[in-house]
Amino acid sequence: MSSATVPDIQEIVRQVIAELRGGPASDSRVANVRPVAKITANPARSFVGNYGIFDSVDDAVCASQEAFEQLERLGIDGRRKAIAQIRRISIDDAVELGQMEFAETKIGRLEHKIEKLKVLGERSPGVEFLTSEVFSGDHGLAIIEHAPFGVIGAITPVTHSLPTITGNAVSMIAGGNTVVVNPHPSGKKVAAEGVRRFNQAIHRDIGIDNLISLIAEPTLDTAAALFNHHGVKLICVTGGPAVAKAALQSSKRAIVAGPGNPPVVVDETADLDNAARSIIYGAAYDNNLLCIAEKQVFVVASVFDAMMAAMVRAGALRLTAQQVDTLTDRAIVMVGEGSHRHFAPCKDLLGQDAALLAKVAGALPRDDLKLVFGETDLSNPFVPTEQMMPFLPFVRCKDVDEAITRAHESEHGFRHTAIIHSNNVRNMTKMGRLLDTTLFIKNGASVAGLGLGGEGYLSFSIATPTGEGVTTPLTFTRQRRCTLVDDLRILGSPD
């Protein structure tokens, strides 16, 4: 055939792809992205343009399934691009979104709301975690790959509404999944705004909407509908005892990031000034809202008074015994009925500033005060309660064995987080073994356990009762093994 009659194959391909995408061909997009516009399982029910915001659980799951199928076709590169958009917004919009979260939830500290988003943008684990394993032997090869589950249903807490969604979204999408979130009602607006921004940017970049979907008016009923929806393949909950229990009782596989009550032990070998600075930093971070934050401190008697002095030197305000009693009466309440009756933090003071706690206690707060503390005995309700406010009870113990035993009791077997300040390796080991926690931090602030001042990556969902630990993309994958018998292995003698 002459060149005049030979069809331009590339031009035809470009036109076909353009038609499939419902728009004019663009060379760069054709090169980088496979067509997605017509991939949806049922185009009549397409939810493009929702940008992740839904009234109904059913629509959200359906849109999420569509998005999952589209993501699958873009491979790892599509996931990488989606995550890059989430991380970029997390950093670029951290101030605005942090302010929104603070204004809506009215708990914690603004600077930490902002920092949590920024750090997620920098240190949330992505597709690089998805390494395959290979077994190679006389009988050939076996490759284990990490495949997505599909649509994940997530429940998120008020203590870090958007940060939890952000970390979950990065890990879940890196694993190839999509997610439908039922946020805490008191943090639903910032959650929706973040989700909308993420989806708009991802849609602009790779042409997929609704990788992250959210129920705009979340209730316990919508949470239950999400748990039970046949399209949801995996559940991930982050929250307190009630939601952790509900998820553990669900018929679906659940990743459960449950409550904690992290104890601190200070022994006679500790660097007390470092211990004091670390305890203040960790316990005051976001006004003690973090599940890993220091909640009660057990100090060996021989250094107890010196430790209290070190806390004051490091900037915390010590309350008198009477002031501690006054604060306890106001800050801790009884909730529940019958055998379920237990202590809980008073909602008015949860996540509030140390200065307010000082005033409530009848003490004179200083400007820039971050933490108040005081000596209590074991029976003070602050010891067993996850207070989530910047007051710490300090309990005097006769020796390190008593301190470790008391720490163990106060943790309630959550196996979440524990901290020790010590230079005695035996004491560290003893405590680590007995408490058996998911995070165990030595000679640093609790937040070092999430990579803030320590090593490692960051996620605000730390799966405790179900054992996955600080969640990563691998947490949200299932193993698939592919075996090739007797071939492809290049070692061995030729036939």
**What does the binding site for ligand NAD look like in residue numbers (CB under 6 A)?**
155-159, 183-184, 220, 223, 238-240, 242-243, 246, 257-260, 291, 386, 460-462, 464
Please give the residue whose beta carbon sits closest to ligand NAD in the complex: 239
3-class DSSP assignment, residue 174: helix
Instruction: Return the bridge partners of 463, or none.
Output: 469
- Write down the least CB distance from residue 435 to ligand NAD, Å: 16
Strand ranges, E, within 149-253: 151-155, 178-182, 212-215, 232-238
- Write down the least CB distance from residue 184 to ligand NAD, Å: 4
What is the Cα–Cα distance from 90 to 429, expressed in whole angstroms?
Answer: 38
- Write down the least CB distance from residue 459 to ligand NAD, Å: 8
Quick check: 39 and 55 in contact, CB under 8 A? no
Nearer to ligand NAD, 126 or 183 (CB): 183
Nearer to ligand NAD, 23 or 413 (CB): 413
- Write down the least CB distance from residue 25 to ligand NAD, Å: 45
**Rg value, the chain, Cα:** 26
Compute how many other C-beta atoms are within 10 angstroms of the C-beta atom of residue 253.
13
- ∠ CA(393), CA(398), CA(404), 5° rounding? 65
Six-digit token string for 214: 């959210």
- Write down the least CB distance from residue 345 to ligand NAD, Å: 9
Quick check: 239 and 258 in contact, CB under 8 A? yes
Nearer to ligand NAD, 184 or 203 (CB): 184
Question: Smallest Cα–Cα separation from 311: which of 238, 233, 386, 390?
Answer: 390
- Write down the least CB distance from residue 260 to ligand NAD, Å: 5
- Write down the least CB distance from residue 187 to ligand NAD, Å: 8
The CB-based long-range contact list for 311-316 (8 Å cut-off, 24+ gap) reads 311/276, 311/279, 311/280, 311/373, 311/394, 313/273, 313/276, 314/273, 314/276, 314/277, 314/280, 315/280, 315/368, 315/369, 315/370, 315/371, 316/276, 316/280, 316/369, 316/370, 316/371, 316/372, 316/373
Quick check: 328 and 379 in contact, CB under 8 A? no
Instruction: Return the bridge partners of 482, or none.
Output: 143
- Write down the least CB distance from residue 470 to ligand NAD, Å: 8
